[in-house]
Amino acid sequence: GSKYMAIRYQGQFNSKLPLEKYPFDSQNLIVEFEDSSVGSNKQYFVPDENPVTMNPEMTLPGYILGNPTLTIASKPYPTNFGDTSLAAPEPYSRVTVSVPVHRPAFTYAIKIILPIFLVVICAAFVFFIHPSFVEARVGMGITALLTLVALQLTSNSLQPEVDYLMMIDLLYFAAYIFVIASLGQVVRTSWAAFRGDDGRAVRQDRRAFFYMALMYLAANAAIMGFTLSR
């Protein structure tokens, strides 16, 4: 025989998402349920031909929704939950509904990654200002550094508190190193300009820009490649 039962349940669920790859992270929204009183030896869920669907009008701001999937497995527990009638712990049939979501990469690259590169490019202009204009060069570097700090504080304020570094934090760290190293180069060449050796100072600036820009781009590529490949 058969018994048909329809249950409609609407609820709000939340969980902490792994954000190591932010802003290019992909997530799985998971809903799990099982019968807490009957083990899988007496009851086992069997999926229908089309077990899970999603409302085509559903949207999740900031994410692109993928196709949901449903899996059923026997979940063992290391305890009998105090049930003395059980000789040993028994597994329970568990249904897992997973909805994959990911952030639009191009949109977040423009909104979050591009401002960092723009600030770094502005900081790199100190290498093309004549070494005799020390105040202008230092002011440009300090402004770039403060702008990076403000951008990071704004970005972190929109994310939950986590006890690890996200990819965006490492990108900011690389930008900090570039700006601080640029200021160090300004201090170095300012002494050469003070001694009247402007030609040497300009050559040092050009050489420093080439190597520092190359190392900065390599560092960003390494950060993104290592983080996204995990």
**Mean pLDDT to the nearest integer, 158-167:** 89
Token duo for residue 191:
């002494």
Instruction: Provide mean pLDDT across the span 24-50.
Output: 87
Strand ranges (DSSP E) for the chain? 26-34, 64-65, 69-75, 92-102
Q: Quick check: 42 pLDDT over 90?
A: no
The larger pLDDT score, comparing residue 148 to residue 75, is at 148
Residue 72 pLDDT: 92
Which residues 6+ apart lie within 8 Å of 27 measured at CB? 17, 18, 63, 100, 101, 102
Average pLDDT over residues 112-124: 95
**How confident is the model over 161-175, as a mean pLDDT?**
94
Q: What percent of the chain has pLDDT over 70?
A: 100
Note the pLDDT tens digit of each residue in 55-79.
889 888 889 999 999 999 988 888 8
Q: What is the pLDDT of residue 20?
A: 93
Work out the mean pLDDT of the chain and round it to a whole number.
90
